[in-house]
Amino acid sequence: MSILIAFLGGMLTLLSPCTLPVIPLLFASVRGRRGQLAIMLAGMALMFGAVSWLVTVASGWVVNLTLAGRGLALAFFALVGLSLLSQRVAQRLTSPLVALGNQLNDASSRQRGWIGSLLAGLAVGLLWAPCAGPVLGAILSLGFVHPGQATTGGLLLAYGSGGALMLFLLGWCGAALIARLRRGQAFGERLRRLAGGAMLASVALIASGGDRYLQSAGGLSQALEQRLAARLPQPEQKTSLQPIAAPQPSSAMPSLAGGSAWINSPALTPERLKGKVVLVDFWTRECINCQHTLPYVRDWANKYRAAGLVVIGVHTPEYPWERSLPLLRQAVKDWRITYPVVADNEYAIWNAFGNQYWPAHYIFDARGQLRYTAFGEGDYARKEQVIQQLLQESKA
C-alpha cells in the first residue's frame, strides 16, 4: 500500500510547476523518440531514488558528490543545448563520436543510442527536484529514522517512477506531433533551435536556483499529496504535540537534541529555555515558502528579544544539497539571521516534534508548553498576536 501511495505521489508531480524545468531537458535530448524516452525516464527514476536513498544512510561525502554531480549534469545539458542551437558546435562536439561510429556496425550504433539516453536520464535524475510535498517529506523522514532500510529505497524509487510515468505519457502524446513537424526540413531546423533554447533556459533556471520559486504555485498538487501522505507509515514520535489554551504536561517542548551543528548559539535545551517564550521555526534553505516567512520570523526575533522571546530555526533539509553546513551558514548570513539555528540533518528534531511540513511554526509559553501551531505561509498577524499574549502571560 505504501509503495502505491508513493507512486501516486510521484505522479502528482506533473501537476506541480516544479517539474517544468526538467521537461525541456528530457524531450530536447530524445526529440520525440519514444523508445529512447522510456530508457531516459527509467534512468531518471533510478538516479533520483538512488541518490535520495544514499543521503539517508551516508554522510557528508555523498552530499559533496551530489553537488559535484549536479554541476556536471548541468554542464552536460548546456553543451547539448548549444549543439542544438548551432550546427557548428554540434559538429565539433560530435566529431569524435562520428569517427568512432564509422568503425562500428549499425547494431552497435543503435545500442549506443540507448546508452546515451540512459546516461541523459541519469543526469536528469541528479537535477530533478520535485516541490516540497508531504509525500516526499514523509518518505525522507522515514529514511532518516530508519537509515538503510530497503523499504525507504523502494518508496523513493516508486515516487520517482510515478513522476517518470507521467512524463513518459506526456512525451508519448507529443511524439506524433513532433514527428509530423520534423517532416518539414525548414521547420525542423527551427524546432531544433527552439529545443536548444529551451534546454539552455532550463539549465540557467536550475543553476541560478530560480526553479525553487515555482514551488509557491504548486497548491493543487500539495493538497492532493497531503491526503496521500496521511496514509504513509509515520516514524515513531517521542511526543504527540497538540496546541492548548492552557498548559498541560502532555504538551511539553520535545528535545532539541540530535542536531548536526548550532549556529549563532550553543546547543539549547527545553530546560535552559524555561521562562522564555519560544518560537520553533522548521525551514529548509531552498523552500520558497520558507523564504517568504523568514522576514517575519526575523523581525519578531529582533522586536521581542528583549521582552523574552527566543526564536529557534530548525533547518531540516529536503534535498541532498541542502545538507551542506557551509551553505547553511552562508544562507543564515545572507538572510541576516541572528537567532539560533540548528542543522537537523538527521531529522532528529523533526521527528521529535512529529513535524511534516516546511515551513512549520510551534510557539511555546514560558513554562515550556505548546500553545500554538501553524503550517505554511500567512496568518502573520495572528502569530504575532499569540507571541504578544504569551509574553504578557510570562510577566503575570
pLDDT tens, residue by residue, 139-174: 555 555 444 455 666 766 777 777 777 777 766 666
Question: According to the model, what pLDDT value does residue 199 have?
Answer: 61
Amino acid at the residue 162: G
Question: According to the model, what pLDDT value does residue 111 have?
Answer: 47
Q: Which of 229, 261, 281 lies at the terminal end of a domain, its last residue?
A: 229
Confirm whether 235 is domain-assigned: no
Confirm whether 221 is domain-assigned: yes
Residues 280 and 384 in one domain: yes
Rounded to 10 degrees, what is the CA torsion of 312, 317, 323, 327? -60
Lowest-confidence segment of 63-77, 104-118, 277-291 by average pLDDT: 104-118
pTM of the predicted protein model: 0.55
Q: Is the pLDDT of residue 369 over 70?
A: yes
For 319-342, what is the mean pLDDT?
A: 91
Identify the residue with better confidence: 3 or 70. 3
CA–CA dist 191, 188 (Å, integer)? 5
Residues 147 and 20 in one domain: yes
For 267-290, what is the mean pLDDT?
A: 93
pLDDT tens, residue by residue, 370-380: 999 999 888 99
Hey, is 231 helix, strand or coil? Answer: coil
Confirm whether 180 is domain-assigned: yes
Confirm whether 256 is domain-assigned: yes
Rounded to 10 degrees, what is the CA torsion of 226, 231, 232, 237? 90
Residues 324 and 183 in one domain: no
Residues 201 and 316 in one domain: no
Residues 259 and 293 in one domain: yes
CA–CA dist 30, 124 (Å, integer)? 13
Q: Which of 197, 229, 261 lies at the terminal end of a domain, its last residue?
A: 229
Lowest-confidence segment of 110-119, 240-249, 272-281, 351-360 by average pLDDT: 240-249
For 351-377, what is the mean pLDDT?
A: 92
Identify the residue with better confidence: 248 or 72. 72
Question: According to the model, what pLDDT value does residue 108 have?
Answer: 39
CA–CA dist 394, 377 (Å, integer)? 27
pLDDT tens, residue by residue, 190-215: 655 666 676 677 667 666 665 555 55
Residues 260 and 211 in one domain: no
CA quadruple 98, 101, 102, 103: dihedral positive or negative?
positive
Q: Is the pLDDT of residue 109 over 90?
A: no
Confirm whether 186 is domain-assigned: yes
Which pLDDT band, with edges at 50, 70 and 90, does 106 fall under? very low
Q: Is the pLDDT of residue 365 over 90?
A: yes
Note down the domain range covering 358: 249-395
Question: According to the model, what pLDDT value does residue 119 have?
Answer: 75
Question: According to the model, what pLDDT value does residue 289 have?
Answer: 86
Residues 299 and 156 in one domain: no
Residues 175 and 267 in one domain: no
How many structural domains is the chain composed of? Answer: 2
Identify the residue with better confidence: 96 or 51. 51
Q: Is the pLDDT of residue 314 over 60?
A: yes
CA–CA dist 334, 272 (Å, integer)? 28
For 227-243, what is the mean pLDDT?
A: 49
Question: According to the model, what pLDDT value does residue 174 have?
Answer: 60
Identify the residue with better confidence: 95 or 296. 296
In angstroms, what CA-CA distances link 265 with 20, 119, 339?
39, 45, 8
pLDDT tens, residue by residue, 381-396: 999 999 999 999 988 7
Residues 268 and 142 in one domain: no
CA–CA dist 203, 78 (Å, integer)? 6
Confirm whether 65 is domain-assigned: yes
Residues 344 and 388 in one domain: yes
CA quadruple 363, 369, 371, 377: dihedral positive or negative?
positive
Residues 329 and 186 in one domain: no
Q: Is the pLDDT of residue 55 over 60?
A: no
Confirm whether 140 is domain-assigned: yes
Confirm whether 316 is domain-assigned: yes
Work out the burial of residue 148: count CB atoms within 10 Å of its CB; fewer than 13 is exposed, 13-18 middle, 19 or more buried. Answer: exposed
Q: Which of 195, 229, 263 lies at the terminal end of a domain, its last residue?
A: 229
For 35-40, what is the mean pLDDT?
A: 75
Which pLDDT band, with edges at 50, 70 and 90, does 224 fall under? low
Residues 308 and 367 in one domain: yes
CATH of the domain at 305: 3.40.30.10
In sequence order, what DSSP letters do the residues of 151-172 get, joined into one string?
Answer: HHHHHHHHHHHHHHHHHHHHHH
Which pLDDT band, with edges at 50, 70 and 90, does 1 fall under? low
